[in-house]
Amino acid sequence: MYPAFHRYWQIITSQRIDGKPRQIVLAHLGTADSLLARLQQKPGEPIKARIQQFGFLAAAWGLAQRLQLVSLIDRHVPKRLPGASVGQYLLLAALNRLTSPRSKAQMAHWYQQTALRRWLPLSRQQLRSQRFWDAMNAVDEQAIRKIETALSQKLVEEFGIDVRCLCFDCTNFDTFIDSRTTSELAQRGHAKSKRTDLRVVGLALLVSTDFHIPLFSRVYPGNQPDSVTFGSVTEELIERYRLLAKNLEHVTLVFDKGNNSEENLEALVPSRYHVVGSMVPTQHQDLLEVPLDRFQSFEDTRLEGVTAFRTSKKVFGREWTIVVTRSQELLDGQLRGIAQVLRKRRRALSELQWKLKRSQEPGAKGKGYTLKSLQAHAQNLSSGQYIQKILRVEIQRRRGKLQFNYHTDAHALERLTATTLGRRILFTDNHEWTTEEIILAYRSQYHVEAAFRTMKNPHFVGWEPMYHWTDQKIRVHALYCVMALTLAGLLQREAHRAGLELSLEAIGRELSSICEVINLYAPISGKAGRFRAATTYTEPTPTSSRLAEIFRLDDCKAR
């Protein structure tokens, strides 16, 4: 019984429990005065509002639930103390990389601004960077391989990823790891960014041509050549083939010329992988000399401006079908590039001529040029894959003074255009394929290139910045970055299957425009207490509204 001076009201219902009637409280309404005040109070204006990231994260969260990512990861790592699991931490890291890459120290601040607080409740203590590092420490290299294997199998089973044609390639990422820090992975090598002052980490990927979904990845030392990397993972690629191609008789592996070697191709024979690759054109001059009147054109609109010559040749220790292609688009691009480089080199040579002249005038200061130093300068300015064949520099001594002249060899450029530029040499053991199928299969290499471009995007799926410097954590960082790339590919794939042809950037932009708005109102009758909250969502565009339907964002909204 309540005291006489306090009477509280409730909404109750009566139910039979174990055969006896029982009263069940549905809601506590408070005193009569507070109930009357609540009924008489007008909605009023919100005192403030909180805006949270919703759309992009909700779509990715739904895909992660379909993949059962958290439980998939937790099956392969040691059990932890009560609290957030390793799978939850790695999923959180992957979602952050996908939508808004930042450091672990900033993770709690980012998390508080998202709807993840509702789907994955974590305290600030659990979001400290040390907790993330503890979770990452639990994931060794063997666990990473098991997680990746299980994930690739789940992708094929749950989403039906097409694995009939797979693309392999390598890239590297800059690090800011101090030179004195010991690391097998972070090394100085041929950086794709051209930053010779930084150590780099290499990443090899095997992706599907079905929206570049990663099915295999490996981190390797940044100074390791691509062909060595390919050879080092051949056995694992074969194992992945056996896992993914259970019901397929024909799987083709596509890679570029940087991975070529007789040993690598021989190692793939037991796997029953078929291959499509390319060769270094200048190493096969006989194929470059084939006249253009022996090339055929194609009706397929995807091969507009492309002609090809087909033959067979023994290379890498066995007989292959060879296709020499000539692309007008590639030719035009190469000619533009050559013209741009030639302009820069000619300006530099003109400046060198002026400096040489000044250095030989009476009273000139400085050491001046010797024949040897001038030859070194001229050789450096006339070097390059094609430039060295086109730009001619002649040095001579007249009346005791050094002089040099330079010119562009028009005949050499004409010969390059007729025999080398615009051409690629492809090889395959798919002897029964048509020439069109071989060319299009090789062109699917753009899928893995697109995956690397995505990972180097600073706004979505960003590998960088990487705030780790130990090899173990770099490998875990690569794991959740590849997971983010997987979710990105699935987002684009699902949108495409629903009829929306959008880039990942467009999908991310449209979904990010859907925000969760929490309006906060004053407590009832101005009394002390918690703010009243009402959740709503920003008005969607037609495109974001369609994406919300595709990814069922209503299921993730606050109730």
> Which tens digit of pLDDT belongs to each residue from 91-138?
999 999 999 998 888 999 999 999 999 999 999 899 998 999 999 999
Going by C-alpha positions, the residue among 172, 211, 204 that lies closest to residue 188 is 172
pLDDT value at residue 40: 61
pLDDT value at residue 81: 64
Average pLDDT of 142-151?
94
Q: How many CB atoms lie within 10 A of CB 78?
A: 10
CB-CB contact of 349 with 393 (8 Å): yes
State how beta strands 401-408 and 532-537 pair: unpaired
The C-alpha atoms of residue 61 and residue 114 are separated, in whole angstroms, by 12
Split at pLDDT 50, 70, 90, the class of 41 is low
Question: Tens digit of pLDDT for each residue in 411-440?
Answer: 999 999 999 999 999 999 999 999 999 999
Q: Buried b / exposed e across 465-495, counting CB within 10 Å, b at 16+?
A: ebebbbbebbbbbbbbbbbbbbbbbbbbbbb
Average pLDDT of 278-296?
91
Tokens representing residue 506 in the block: 């467009």
Locus of tokens 């490996």: 218
CB-CB contact of 116 with 165 (8 Å): no
Average pLDDT of 447-476?
87
pLDDT at residue 399 is higher than 90 = no
The C-alpha atoms of residue 432 and residue 385 are separated, in whole angstroms, by 35
pLDDT value at residue 27: 73
pLDDT at residue 141 is higher than 90 = yes
pLDDT value at residue 479: 96
Mean pLDDT value across the chain: 88
Average pLDDT of 376-402?
89
User: Which parts of 197-327 fold into alpha helices (H)?
Assistant: 226-232, 234-244, 262-267, 285-288
Q: How many CB atoms lie within 10 A of CB 455?
A: 24
pLDDT value at residue 542: 94
Q: 83: which residues sit within 8 A by CB, 6+ positions away?
A: 126
Going by C-alpha positions, the residue among 287, 237, 289 that lies closest to residue 259 is 237
Percent of residues, the chain, with pLDDT higher than 90: 54
The C-alpha atoms of residue 31 and residue 472 are separated, in whole angstroms, by 60
pLDDT at residue 490 is higher than 90 = yes
CA trace torsion 433, 436, 442, 443 (10° rounding): -150
Q: Which SS3 state, helix, strand or coil, does residue 161 take?
A: coil
Q: How many CB atoms lie within 10 A of CB 518?
A: 17
pLDDT value at residue 75: 93
CA trace torsion 20, 21, 24, 30 (10° rounding): -140
pLDDT value at residue 525: 56
Going by C-alpha positions, the residue among 363, 375, 367, 383 that lies closest to residue 402 is 375
Q: Buried b / exposed e across 208-235, counting CB within 10 Å, b at 16+?
A: bbbbbbbbbbbbbbbebebbebbbebbe
User: C-alpha distances in angstroms, 230 versus 70, 71, 235, 264, 479?
Assistant: 30, 31, 10, 7, 19
Question: Tens digit of pLDDT for each residue in 47-80?
Answer: 788 899 999 999 999 999 999 999 999 999 987 7
Measured CA angle at 239 (ends 455, 461), to 5 deg: 10
Split at pLDDT 50, 70, 90, the class of 1 is very low
CB-CB contact of 53 with 518 (8 Å): no
The C-alpha atoms of residue 102 and residue 96 are separated, in whole angstroms, by 7
Going by C-alpha positions, the residue among 9, 63, 69, 4 that lies closest to residue 34 is 9
The C-alpha atoms of residue 308 and residue 442 are separated, in whole angstroms, by 13
Q: 53 exposed, middle or buried (CB, 10 Å; 0-12, 13-18, 19+)?
A: buried
User: C-alpha distances in angstroms, 252 versus 163, 190, 248, 280, 437?
Assistant: 9, 29, 11, 21, 12
pLDDT at residue 516 is higher than 50 = yes
Tokens representing residue 123 in the block: 């305290």
pLDDT at residue 480 is higher than 90 = yes
Average pLDDT of 186-200?
88
Tokens representing residue 389 in the block: 């064949």
Percent of residues, the chain, with pLDDT higher than 70: 96
Q: Which SS3 state, helix, strand or coil, does residue 266 take?
A: helix
CB-CB contact of 261 with 268 (8 Å): no
User: Rg for the chain (alpha carbons), in Å?
Assistant: 32
Q: State pTM to two decimals.
A: 0.83
Locus of tokens 């690397």: 452
Q: What are phi and psi of 127, to 5 degrees?
A: -100, 10
Sheet strand arrangement including 532-537 = 48-53, 515-521, 532-537
pLDDT at residue 24 is higher than 90 = no
Q: What is the DSSP string of 467-498?
A: ---SHHHHHHHHHHHHHHHHHHHHHHHHHHHT
Q: Which SS3 state, helix, strand or coil, does residue 391 take?
A: strand
Tokens representing residue 42 in the block: 């007008």
pLDDT: which is higher, 258 or 530: 258
Measured CA angle at 207 (ends 206, 210), to 5 deg: 160
pLDDT value at residue 462: 84
Q: Which of 254-263, 369-378, 432-441 has the highest mean pLDDT?
A: 432-441
The C-alpha atoms of residue 459 and residue 99 are separated, in whole angstroms, by 7
Split at pLDDT 50, 70, 90, the class of 42 is low
pLDDT: which is higher, 22 or 143: 143
Q: Which DSSP helix (H) or strand (E) runs through 312?
A: strand 306-315
Going by C-alpha positions, the residue among 442, 398, 444, 450 that lies closest to residue 424 is 442
